[in-house]
Amino acid sequence: MILVTGGAGFIGSNFVLDWLACSDEPVLNVDKLTYAGNLANLAAVAQDPRHVFVQADICDQAAMQRLLAQHAPRAIVHFAAESHVDRSIHGPAAFIDTNVNGTFSLLEAVRTYHAGLSGTARDTFRFLHVSTDEVYGSLAAHEPPFTERSPYAPNSPYSASKAASDHLVRAYHHTYGLPTLTTSCSNNYGPFQFPEKLIPLVIANALDGKPLPLYGDGSNVRDWLYVGDHCAALRRILEAGRPGETYNIGGWNEKTNLDVVHTVCDILDAALPAPSSRRELVTFVADRPGHDRRYAIDARKIERELGWKPAESFDTGIRRTVQWYLDHQDWVADVRSGAYQHWVRQNYGARGAAGGAA
């Protein structure tokens, strides 16, 4: 089996669902279930014996060691993190706890586990660390996109904590020979994204006729990737990536925030006509402190070496995403009301300790 950390979050749950749709190999899903973890995302596999959920904190090294010894995974895909830049500005401590110390604890547990493997199990084991393009800092309008050789220049507590974890992963490869793979991915969007992030927040507010807050003048640029494409890239890297390497993953979709929000408004207006265009709800608000101007990813290495390219354009991906949110307004309502947290007790409470089957 493979072990996934943070598999109840946005990208992790998409990854678990994709994995079980594409392969028969079981997944051990280890997640602390912070506000961002939502087992309702995994309702489709709640009865699937190939999905084993364990509520645990990656900072708990002894628990990680026990899980590794008990389940003997052949690979780990490490998503678990605090992931929201604005939250990191208001309260950086949780980002240091989970992203830095948590990754460190996990690496320590994995180092011991890997040292105890032998033969093929040892040679083929992989630790895939899921990171972000934000570690490279901010680009000016004329600068080329980030490559794997771009210098680290993180600007927010979030990106600094992810950069620290990347450095630890690099050191565990270099010093201990742990077969690591690191990915730096651009902004994801798609089903199950928590409505604190730009795209789901704007969809939810637009449907409620509420203001659509744009930081600053709305001209900051992000490179958007549909989450299903990210999952496909991770599967491919796990299969054929070279240990010790970093792979940048991006969608070649640079957009200003204003463009993104206008596109969402236009799709909603066409699907559910309103008395006036939802573009009128756009409200410019005070900028985020230290707001990175532009991110852009050069994804040629993963295409050249591993043959991965995104399947969705921004146009197709954003339409799929808006439609998903239109079809799952109950999911958004439950997240916003906090009702999703009852799902754990309702659905997993009876299945044994730690909210899961393990």
Q: Is 201 in the site for ligand TYD (CB under 6 A)?
A: yes
Please select the residue that binds ligand TYD; options are 187, 188, 246, 253, rule is CB under 6 A.
187
Nearer Cβ to ligand NAD, position 48 or 97? 97
Q: Is 218 in the site for ligand NAD (CB under 6 A)?
A: no
Tell me how many degrees the CA angle 185-186-188 measures, rounded to the nearest 5: 100
Tell me how many degrees the CA angle 116-120-126 measures, rounded to the nearest 5: 70
Return contacts of 94-101, CB within 8 angstroms, 24+ apart: 95/157, 95/158, 95/161, 96/157, 96/161, 97/59, 98/32, 98/58, 98/59, 99/158, 99/161, 99/162, 99/164, 99/165, 100/161, 100/164, 100/165, 100/168, 101/59
Cα–Cα dist 2/19, whole Å: 10
Q: Residue 191 binds what, of ligand TYD, ligand NAD, none (CB under 5 to 8 Å, by partner type)? A: none
The CA–CA distances, whole Å, from 56 to 28, 132, 336 equal: 12, 23, 24
Binding mask 71-90 for ligand TYD (x = CB under 6 A): --------------x-----
C-beta neighbour count of 116 within 10 angstroms: 12
Q: Is 102 in the site for ligand NAD (CB under 6 A)?
A: yes
Q: Residue 257 binds what, of ligand NAD, ligand TYD, none (CB under 5 to 8 Å, by partner type)? A: ligand TYD
212 in helix, strand or coil? strand
Q: Is 145 in the site for ligand NAD (CB under 6 A)?
A: no
- Give residue for tokens 């009128």: 280
SS (H, E, C) 273-293: CCCCCHHHHEEEECCCCCCCC
The CA–CA distances, whole Å, from 69 to 52, 54, 63, 138 equal: 15, 14, 10, 41
Q: Is 163 in the site for ligand NAD (CB under 6 A)?
A: no
Q: How far is the CB of 217 from ligand NAD (least distance, A)?
A: 22
Stretch that binds ligand NAD, among 45-53, 73-81, 263-271, 321-329 (CB under 6 A): 73-81
Query: Which residue is catalytic, options 136, 158, 172, 226?
Result: 158
Query: Which residue is catalytic, options 31, 134, 229, 312?
Result: 134
Instruction: Look up 133 and say whether it is catalytic.
Output: yes
Q: Is 253 in the site for ligand TYD (CB under 6 A)?
A: no
Please select the residue that binds ligand TYD; options are 222, 255, 262, 278, rule is CB under 6 A.
222
Q: Is 132 in the site for ligand NAD (CB under 6 A)?
A: yes
Instruction: Look up 158 and say whether it is catalytic.
Output: yes
* Alpha helices, H only, the chain: 10-22, 61-71, 85-90, 93-95, 103-115, 119-124, 157-176, 198-208, 227-240, 257-271, 300-306, 314-327, 329-337, 340-343
Tokens of 131: 């990171």
Please select the residue that binds ligand NAD; options are 39, 45, 81, 281, rule is CB under 6 A.
81
Q: Residue 31 binds what, of ligand TYD, ligand NAD, none (CB under 5 to 8 Å, by partner type)? A: ligand NAD
Q: Is 215 in the site for ligand TYD (CB under 6 A)?
A: yes
Give the interface size with ligand NAD as a residue count (CB under 6 A): 30
Query: Which residue is catalytic, options 57, 82, 133, 292?
Result: 133
Binding site for ligand TYD (CB under 6 A): 85, 187, 197-198, 201, 213-215, 220, 222, 257, 288
**Residue ranges in contact with ligand NAD by CB under 6 A:** 5-6, 8-12, 31-34, 36-37, 57-59, 79-83, 98, 102, 130, 132, 162, 185, 187-188, 194
Enumerate the active-site residues.
Answer: 133-134, 158
